[in-house]
Each structure stands twice: as C-alpha cells, then as structure tokens.
Amino acid sequence: MKAALQEFITYMTEVKNASVNTCLSYKNDLTKLINYMYKQNITEEDKISETSLNSYVLTLEKEGLSPATVSRNIASIKAFILYLIKHGKMKHDPTERMKSPKIEKKPHTSLSTEEVSGLLDQPNINTIKGMRDKAMLELLYATGIRVTELISIKLEDLNLKNRFLRCAGAKKERLIPFGNMAKHALENYFSFGRPNLVGSVSTDFLFTNLSGEPMSRQGFWKLLKSYGKNAGITMEITPQILRNSFAAHMIENGADLRSIQEFLGHADISTTQFYLQSGDRKLTKVYTDTHPRA
C-alpha cells in the first residue's frame, strides 16, 4: 500500500497540480491510515473494507481529533480510494457510505486594533530576525493574505514604490495595496535583514529562514505564537486571526463587502458575508481611507 500511496502523491503533484501543502496533508493522513491497516493485518488495497475504515475513523475520534480534522482525513481516504479504483487496484468503493462528522461553524475570531499594535511591536528590529519578522507581520496584517501566500511571495511580486503586492491565488491573481508602515518595515528588511539572511544562497523568495531557505508555514506559526504570548494576548494567535482582524478592522472603518472579497481573494462573496455591509468603491481608495496602518 505504501507504494500505491507514493504513486498517488506523484499523480496529485504532476497530473492534478495539487499544492505542496495539499500533497503533504494527503501523505500524512494516508500514511497514518496505512499504518493502522497494517496493524489489522490488512496489507493489500483491495482488502480495505467499509468496516475497517469505520473502525479507523472511530479510532481518530477516540484520539480526540476535532471534527474538522476527522473530515479532512475522510476526504483524503476518499480521494485515495477513488484513485485506486480508477487505476484498477480496487474493484469496489468501501467509502460510498462514509459520512464526515458535522462541523460546528465557529465565529470568526479577531483581535482589537490595540492587540494587533501590541503584536506587531514585538519583533526586535535591531536584529536580522526581528527585521524579517516585523516585515512579515506588517505585510500579513496590511494585506489580509493567507500564510501560504505570504511565504510564497517572490521578489518580483512586490512593488515597493507603488505599495502593491501581486498575489497568485489558487484560481485568480490579485493586486493588493499596502500601507506606509508595511512599506517601511519591508524597506528596512530589504536594506539590512534579507541580505544577511540570504548570504550567498540564491533565492527568489522574499522571506527566508535563518539559513536562507524559504520560510515554512510551521516556522511562521511558531514565531507568531511566540510574539502573541509576549504581547500578552490570551487567545492562541494564528495567521487566520490576523486575516480576520484585517477584514474586521477594514469593515469597522467603512470598507464595503465587495472590496473585502477582492482583498481576501474569496471566489464567492457568501464566504465574506459575515463581515456585513456592501458598497462599490475603488480598492486603493478604500484601503487608504480605512486601514488602521495605511
């Protein structure tokens, strides 16, 4: 089964053009499934049954995994089984009656402007790492982009002079303006931080780790959590909370829903509707007039 899993990951990468994070998620979820099946003496794909899969899902639930995590695992299993059937490695579909647990929608949590200011003031800009972290935090809050988009930014995507970021989402490229505070942090990082981080390493990525390699999601989450704790913020800080805060603060200051939809890169405005209101203004004017750190 492990060979089939590797073939599936290759297929998702090369044929389906799935992202690195998606493939990593598939690999982690399905490796855990295969290890469980091996312990049950199920070593061949066509021996996987509805009963064995239901037992596995119950095991995940007993481990205390959230409904969202269990649902993601089920989605990974279904994608893998479909691949096996399509390529003649299985004749039946044991996932036909599998249902994901009901996920309770949680309210979108955001920080106050004071909490955001405290968080963004944490990096020590007299150090190389602090310059980088300050630029990353300022840009994340200034644009509302996703953490995957943040660590994927390349030098050619940034227009410091005109304060615009080109962000290539999953389906649509968008241009996002940012304010003077983010620009100042980026200029400081470009002048003193990045040259020392990159050194002799050749990379087009804007943000790197201390070895000059591209910044990872895990690395950014770790530093964000640390800064949140140092700022005295009691809730667990995640990149999504900064994204929510960006949108919430823009709305509080008069930005319309359509503009927020474009900033965040939502394909469907219903995804953005919890922020309320609507209108029709130019994005750059909305940003300049409403973002707390413009």
Predicted local distance difference test score (pLDDT) of residue 266: 58
Cα angle, residue 151 at apex, residues 175 and 141 outer, rounded to 5°: 60
End-to-end CA distance of the chain: 53
Mean pLDDT, rounded, for 71-99: 91
Cα→Cα distances 30→12, 41, 81, Å: 13, 16, 10
Predicted local distance difference test score (pLDDT) of residue 105: 59
Beta strands in the chain (DSSP E): 158-159, 164-168, 173-177
CB atoms within 10 A of CB 158: 18
Query: Residue 280: is its pLDDT beyond 60?
Result: no
Question: Tokens in use for 209?
Answer: 């780790």
- Of 135, 126, 128, nearest to 193 by C-alpha is 128
Query: Residue 289: is its pLDDT beyond 80?
Result: no
Predicted local distance difference test score (pLDDT) of residue 286: 63
Task: State the Cα–Cα distance between residues 236 and 244, nearest whole angstrom.
Answer: 14
Block residue for tokens 């960006």: 246
Secondary structure (3-state) at 237: coil
Predicted local distance difference test score (pLDDT) of residue 107: 57
Burial of 23 (0-12, 13-18, 19+ CB in 10 A): middle
Q: Which fold has domain 2-86?
A: DNA polymerase; domain 1 (1.10.150)
Residues 194-212 pLDDT 10s: 998 888 788 899 999 988 8
Q: What percentage of residues in the chain have a pLDDT greater than 70?
A: 86
The amino acid present at 168, given as its one-letter code, is: A
Secondary structure (3-state) at 117: helix
Domain ranges for the chain, please list them.
Answer: 2-86, 113-290
Contacts of 24 (CB under 8 A, 6+ apart): none
Pairing of strands 158-159, 173-177: unpaired
Contact call for residues 258 and 280 (beta carbons, < 8 A) = yes
Residues 121-162 pLDDT 10s: 999 999 999 999 999 999 999 888 888 889 999 999 999 999
Beta strands in 91-163 (DSSP E): 158-159
Query: Residue 283: is its pLDDT beyond 60?
Result: no
Block residue for tokens 């140092």: 230
Residues 240-251 pLDDT 10s: 888 888 887 877
- Of 112, 95, 90, 141, nearest to 231 by C-alpha is 112
Q: Which fold has domain 113-290?
A: hpI Integrase; Chain A (1.10.443)
Predicted local distance difference test score (pLDDT) of residue 171: 58
Predicted local distance difference test score (pLDDT) of residue 236: 83
Q: Which range among 18-22, 94-98, 133-137, 160-164 has the greatest average pLDDT?
A: 133-137
Across all residues in the chain, what is the average pLDDT?
A: 84
Task: State the Cα–Cα distance between residues 91 and 85, nearest whole angstrom.
Answer: 6
Query: Residue 225: is its pLDDT beyond 50?
Result: yes
Predicted local distance difference test score (pLDDT) of residue 277: 38
Predicted local distance difference test score (pLDDT) of residue 74: 93
